[in-house]
Amino acid sequence: MANRVAEGFRPLRVYLKRMNKLAYLVVVAPFVAANGSSPHGDASVLTSSVKSPVTSARDFSLRPVTWTILGGRAPRDVASGRAVPITLQATIANGWHIYSLSQKPGGPIPLRLALLGAADVIVRGVIMAPKPERMFDRNFGIETELYSGRPRFTIPIGVPAHSLTGIRKFKIGARYQACSDKLCLPPRTDTLDVALRIASRQ
């Protein structure tokens, strides 16, 4: 199961799509006292153009996207100097979407897939992805590329020829932004555990 990568106690920003504008709603971290004081001293009061009350950060602890690795967590066999494909699947809740690997800058956060903690394991080649749905978003003012449902992404993971044999463990990080037709959640990074069984090249 994907695990949330901790990003500290920064305020949670939720981007609400309303009246063709982005309104910014800030949820103050739980350690802020009821009188508006901060552990760092004086703090200015943050206001929002959105009048709907926010009771707690828990109200926005949505997880509309989950990630899995097809084929399970068993180590994948690969020879030194070769590559092995690893396929990820995003399961996106109805009414939600994420943005493509090729989403242009200046709007929503595009999908990024990267290897984490893999010293001698690299992405070798192009990540295979389905064709995204294209839609002009008036809030961002640009054409966006969307994925919904259960898109799959195949990463060619290569092992250098000089790599030692044995089990190699690392993670795949998926950074993305999930949006519905009413709001966009802050970008997040989920991680998935991966293992390779490296054999000597025959």
Convert the pLDDT of each residue in 15-39 to its tens digit. 434 333 333 333 333 333 333 433 3
Q: Is the dihedral of CA 104, 109, 112, 116 positive or negative?
A: positive
Per-residue pLDDT at 177: 95
The overall average pLDDT reported for the chain is: 76
Report the number of distinct structural domains present in the chain. 1
The Cα–Cα gap between 110 and 153 comes to: 14
Tokens 């939720």 — which residue?
A: 14
167 within 8 A of 195, measured Cβ to Cβ: yes
Domain coverage including residue 161: 3-199
pLDDT bucket at 62, cuts 50 / 70 / 90:
confident
Q: Is 192 helix (H, G, I), strand (E, B) or coil?
A: strand
150: its two tokens: 């259960």
Supply the CATH number for residue 30's domain.
Answer: 2.60.40.1250
Q: By C-alpha distance, which of 127, 91, 110, 96 is closest to 177?
A: 110
Taking the model in full, what pTM does it have?
0.69
